[in-house]
Structure 1
Amino acid sequence: MITQPQTTPVPDPYEERLRVQTARLLAYRDDGPLVRLLRDKVGPGLPPVPAALAALLAIIAMAVTGMLVDGPILLVPVLVMIVLVLPTAARDHLGKLDWLTPPLIRGTEFLTIILVGLAADAPKWLLYVLIYVIGYHTYDTVYRTRQSIWPAPWVFQAGLGWELRLLLIGAGAALGVLTWVLAALTLYLGVLFAVESVTSWVGLDKQTANAAQASDDLETSPEEAQEQATGEADQT
């Protein structure tokens, strides 16, 4: 009985490009456990760009009108962002302007941290360090995906995502313990992102070196390999 060889189906280039584009934008969002838990429970979701822009403008309006003063009110901008931005995670992010969603989310997150921190009289240097740590994580994610190296999904969950980070900061400000929350959050995220990033890149370098060595071995002729072995034996 003659059987036809099975061929692996070749993915459509356009569909593959859309898949990669969606995966990148979702990674750049840096959603955490809360978004992952509720993503499938918000129906079709909200349009990403309008919703993220509305959250940003609402928080700016609260700051301009003087609403953000020390106390429980500092939890409000966090809740506004979560209510407006969390439902956008259900969308496929394939719209022409959906690439604006991650920078809008990150910019709103940073602005909220600054406004809440200043209103609660938190140490400015601590706010700066926290923003730097989150910014490093964002840069590392973008650089990796551009090299077709995807961070492990657990990194985004362990990093708490923008939503849990803001909830912790808002709750800390409302309860009057923001400085301690910022210190603990900065230390935890700094260690997590630094260790994970360094170990991942070191592991990648080792894989690259092993692949290069294997390639060199394949290109070496049997005569050259024998000469190298003989030379190493003479040296010993």
Structure 2
Amino acid sequence: MTSVYLAPVPRSTVAAQRDDGPLAAAMGRLVLGQIPPLPPVIAAAFVTGALLLLGVTGADDFSVFAPAVVLLLAGAGSSHPHDGRLDWLVPPVLRLTEYGFVASLGFGRSVPPVLIALLIGAIAFHHYDLVHRLRQRVYPPSWLAAAGLGWDGRMLLIAFGGLLDLVPFVFAVLAVYLWGLFGWESLTAWLAAPGSGNAAADADVQE
């Protein structure tokens, strides 16, 4: 099988789609990959969703961190191979929870809708690009998840903005940073791998 990639091949494409940041990845290493990924993700997402419905993102104290901190429990399964029958559900659950948190905090703090759309758009672009690259075997570099802060880092940073009552500013800065980072890295990666899609397609045919 021929692979086209710019970085080491991930041991699990499902795990690579999680987009874990340093904190979530560290939690997974702490338990040595012994915890299945789906149960903690489902439990954490359920509690996080309940907190969002209760309106904690509108609080002006440390409770604004509650959804992000609770979802960190999902990091315990980050080092698992994600080889279970339903483990493919983990990335979309993390995606929806992060998007919901960003939207809830943004609308709850009267952030201009365009800023909310720009920030969620930057994150969604990265997630779409990540899935497409994994399919085409144009693998992202290992530093990208840390530079992009991961879902955990982004949520904590936005919550910190809520604590300081700087949500619009944080949304604007983070949107510009993420669009610049993900857009530049994606463009340079695809330009450095011309014909990667054809090569991957040929490899699939040969298999």
Distance of 1:62 and 1:103 partners within structure 2: 19
Q: Structure 2-normalised TM-score?
A: 0.83
Distance of 2:195 and 2:48 partners within structure 1: 46
Q: Which amino acid aligns with 1:169?
A: I
Question: Alignment length, in residue pairs?
Answer: 191
- Contact 1:43 / 1:90 at 8 angstroms: preserved in 2? yes
Equivalent residue, structure 1, for 2:66? 76
Equivalent residue, structure 1, for 2:192? 203
Cα drift, residue 35 of structure 1 = 2.5
Q: Which residue, 95, 102, 105 being the options, matches 2:94? A: 105
- Contact 1:55 / 1:108 at 8 angstroms: preserved in 2? no
Q: Which residue, 115, 130, 133 being the options, matches 2:122? A: 133
- 1:143-158 to structure 2, matched below 5 A, reads 143-158=132-147
Flag the structure with more relative contact order, 1 or 2, with Cα contacts below 8 A and sequence separation at least 6.
2
CA 1:43–1:89 in structure 2 vs 1: closer, same or farther (change >3 Å)? same
Distance of 1:22 and 1:126 partners within structure 2: 36
Cα drift, residue 114 of structure 1 = 1.0
Q: Which residue, 61, 74, 78 being the options, matches 2:50? A: 61
Equivalent residue, structure 1, for 2:203? none
Q: Which residue, 167, 174, 180 being the options, matches 2:156? A: 167
Q: Structure 1-normalised TM-score?
A: 0.73
Equivalent residue, structure 1, for 2:205? none
Q: Which amino acid aligns with 1:27?
A: A
Cα drift, residue 206 of structure 1 = 7.6
**Structure whose alpha-carbon radius of gyration is higher:** 1
5+ unaligned residues in a row in structure 1: which ranges? 1-9, 11-19, 212-236
Coordinate RMSD, CA, aligned: 2.5
Cα drift, residue 155 of structure 1 = 1.2
What secondary structure is seen at the aligned counterpart in 1 of 2:83?
A: coil
Q: Deviations over 1:133-170 (max 9, x none)?
A: 11111111111111111111111121111110111001
What secondary structure is seen at the aligned counterpart in 2 of 1:204?
A: coil
